[in-house]
A and B are shown apart, each in its own frame.
Chain A
Amino acid sequence: MASEIQLTDVTKRYGRRKPAVDNFSMTIPAGEIVVFVGPSGCGKTTTMRMINRLIEPTSGTITIGGEDTSTLDPDKLRRTIGYAIQQAGLFPHMTVAQNIGVVPGLLGWDRKKIADRVEEMLDTVGLDAAEFHDRFPRQLSGGQQQRVGVARALAADPPVLLMDEPFGAVDPITRGNLQDELMRLQGELRKTIVFVTHDFDEAVKLGDRIAVLGEQSKILQYDTPDVILANPADDTVAGFVGAGASLKQLTLRRVRDVELVQPEVIVSTQDEPDEIRRRLTDAGRSYALMLDARRRPVAWVHVREPRVRRPIRDMVAAESTVQDALEAILTEGGNAVVTGARGEFKGLVEIDTVMAVIRDLRETV
């Protein structure tokens, strides 16, 4: 379920100053992620908040699914629009479950239905319900708080989701994971999402379309990431895209779209070191990948020291970008380990595969 959002000639003026948002028109297609990027103070937040009427436009019209929002009760309107912000904005005196259950409660769902939905949402955002249900927000890490924030925004299954720098305050690795998670969720849910960020790489990774905004929310370019990376509309946009545009395009390709290779020697945590050495020698390889009983990658083992398990520091998921895989390759050396939804081993991305993707991108541009 998703709705198209249409903004027509929307202007917001604070007092007598020049407008913060000037004559903004845009169609946000149903079921897509549209990312607003632009310099600080350019009006991204103001534009976004006019969609759920946290800010009332000075003039212009906004429709969601064809319905003029100005004709609706603002509180009721907002219950049908998910809202996630930086630092998550969780209510510190409510448990995780209570936070997630707020909107269903406002919509008058019965207790049982809310409780079921809370469990389901915790599961959806990858948090163990039994463990996190009764925790208070201050007992969560920043990344976990963001997950709960997203769960709260999605709890009433709104067709539209507004996200204002939701991952702005977490460390880069956690941010990467949260982005992957959001991509996975969106793959299932197909919401109409408006996502605000400062970070162009994040925009390229998440956006079906990117709107590069300038002063007073002027639309400098509104297009798919490929097109913006390949043909920036002007110098300002080109500045935003920054150097290494073709490398950035690596964030447009997913690991699941490239060829995975299987390592020649896979061993298990139960195997004896001698056995491992023999198999490696027979195969003429130096490294074996070690999996645990549930086929989750544990370590690399070298033929000369089969007892020493060298931990895998950086793994990627099928939803991760080829850019992520490249980073993992650079960290690990040689190749990146790819895991599936339950952490099970899928295959390896090799540096040659990444090089091939880059060559391919260069040719199509």
Chain B
Amino acid sequence: MTSTAVATERGATEREETKKASSLRMFAQPIVVVVLVVGVLVWAFTRDLDAIEKQSINAPVLLDAVWDHLVISFVVTALVLIIAVPLGIVLTRQWARASAPVFLAIATIGQASPAIGILVLFFLVSGWEGLWAAALPITFYTLLPVLRNTMVGLQQVDPALVDAGRGIGMSAFAVLRRIEIPLAVPLILAGLRTALVHAVGVATMAVFVNGGGLGLLIDTGYKLSRITVLITGSVLAVALALLVDWLGTVAEQYLGPKGIR
């Protein structure tokens, strides 16, 4: 047997394995999330809680924190989509291509700087507090993956397809809408999933600008040395990130264009 034959065979088994791994993940990840959430809640609620702990470990406060966290993440996602996808589309058009490096550099700075720094800087400059004071800087922080993936996704569309589209009489806009964007969707979604997971993580810092969220529990637990509160907040944040990551994977599976799956 030749070495190429061995190589292709190995390639095939590897692909099989990643396939198996991903289907295992599709199945196991939500179970892990449920186990984590149920586990930490049962553990926290069945412990002897002192008065201070009881102020944090109760259903209304926890639900509030999770809700705030979700709202921040959702707003960030919406903003990222509204900003990064159109920006990525514009930057891949012939007439704007030259300015792409500038925007990519800005987005890279956004992601490379520490999230807490951006959050605090934004607070100092704007003087805002609450949801928007958290959501806007986090959006800036998580813009890059979606922007970059939108651009790469559009750039990797075979130019022959764009040519064929124009050649049979589609307008430039129709080619974008009916060919380029659908073919870029898998990469855009992958970028969005990364961005979302980032956003859920960074949203724990919203507490520093009075944005609420699970960071509140972590912060309280740390400052008041209440380990139960700290752990509950952290585990819930981890579970939320895993859940969002899973939802993203599911979306990628079902929203991508059919013919190329």
Q: Which of A76-122 contact B (CB under 8 A)?
A: 76-83, 85-87, 89-95, 102-103, 106
B82 within 8 A of A: no
Q: What string of 1s and 0s marks CB contacts (under 8 Å) between B136-176 and chain A?
A: 00000000000000000000000011011111111100100
The A/B interface has a contact count, at CB < 8 Å, of 70
Contacts A75-B171, A138-B260 given; does A93 touch B166 at CB 8 Å: no
Does B11 have its Cβ within 8 Å of any Cβ on chain A? no
Is B183 located at the chain interface by the 8 A CB criterion?
yes
Q: With A91-B161, A93-B257 as given contacts, are A152 and B168 in contact (CB-CB < 8 Å)? A: yes
A interface residue numbers (CB < 8 A to B): 52, 54, 75-83, 85-87, 89-95, 102-103, 106, 136-138, 152-153, 162
CB distance from A348 to the nearest CB of B (A): 42
Per a CB cutoff under 8 Å, which of A76, A85, A92 touches B169?
Answer: A76
Contact A78 B258 (CB under 8 A): no
A89 and B170: CB pair below 8 A? no
A-B interface, 3 closest residue pairs, ranked by CB to CB distance from nearest: A89-B164, A136-B259, A93-B257
Chain B contributes a number of interface residues (CB within 8 A of A) equal to 20
Q: Is the CB of B160 within 8 A of A85?
A: yes
A93 near B259: Cβ-Cβ < 8 Å: yes
Q: Which one, B165, B168, B174, B259, contacts A92 given CB within 8 A?
A: B259
Given A75-B170, A93-B182, 9 new contacts (CB under 8 A)? A75-B169, A79-B169, A80-B169, A81-B169, A85-B160, A91-B165, A93-B259, A136-B258, A136-B259
Q: Is the C-beta of B89 less than 8 angstroms from some C-beta in chain A? A: no
B179: interface (CB < 8 Å): yes
Encode B244-261 as 1/0 by CB contact (under 8 A) with A: 000000000000011110
Cβ contact within 8 Å between A85 and B179: no
Q: Which residues of A contact B258 (CB under 8 A)?
A: 93, 136
Given contacts A93-B257, A93-B259, whether A106 and B169 have CB atoms under 8 Å apart is yes
For the complex, what is the distance from the CA of A136 to the CA of B171, rounded to whole Å?
23
What residues on A are CB-neighbors of B259 within 8 Å? 91-95, 136-138
CB neighbours of B167 from chain A (8 A)? 52, 54, 78, 83, 85, 89, 162
A93 adjacent to B183 (CB under 8 Å): yes
In the complex, the answer to whether A78 meets B183 with C-beta atoms within 8 Å is: no
User: Which residue of chain A has the shortest Cβ distance to B167 in the bound complex?
Assistant: A83
Q: Measured between C-beta atoms, what is the minimum distance from B164 to chain A in Å?
A: 3
Which residues on the B side are within 8 Å of A93 (C-beta)? 179, 182-183, 257-260
Docked-complex contact A85 and B260, CB < 8 angstroms: no
Distance in Å: Cβ of B123 to nearest Cβ of chain A? 44
Q: How far is the CA of A151 from the CA of B183 in the complex (A)?
A: 23
Cβ–Cβ contact A78 & B260, under 8 A: no
Known contacts A75-B169, A92-B259; A85/B164 CB under 8 A: yes
- Residue pair B169, A89 in contact (C-beta under 8 Å): no
**Known contacts A95-B259, A138-B259: A89-B161 contact under CB 8 Å:** yes
The answer to whether B168 touches A78 (Cβ under 8 A) is yes
Sample 11 A-B pairs with CB under 8 A, ordered by A number. A75-B169, A75-B170, A80-B169, A83-B164, A89-B161, A91-B165, A92-B161, A94-B259, A95-B259, A103-B168, A136-B258
* Most chain B beta carbons < 10 A, residue from A52, A75, A95: A75
**A54 to B171 CA separation, bound complex (whole angstroms):** 11
CB distance from A101 to the nearest CB of B (A): 11
Residue of A nearest to B182 (CB): A93
In angstroms, Cα B169 to Cα A341, docked, is 33
A138–B257 CA distance with the chains assembled, in angstroms: 13
Q: Compute how far the CA of A160 lies from the CA of B35 in the bound complex, rounded to whole angstroms.
A: 65
| Smallest CB gap from A162: residue in B | B167
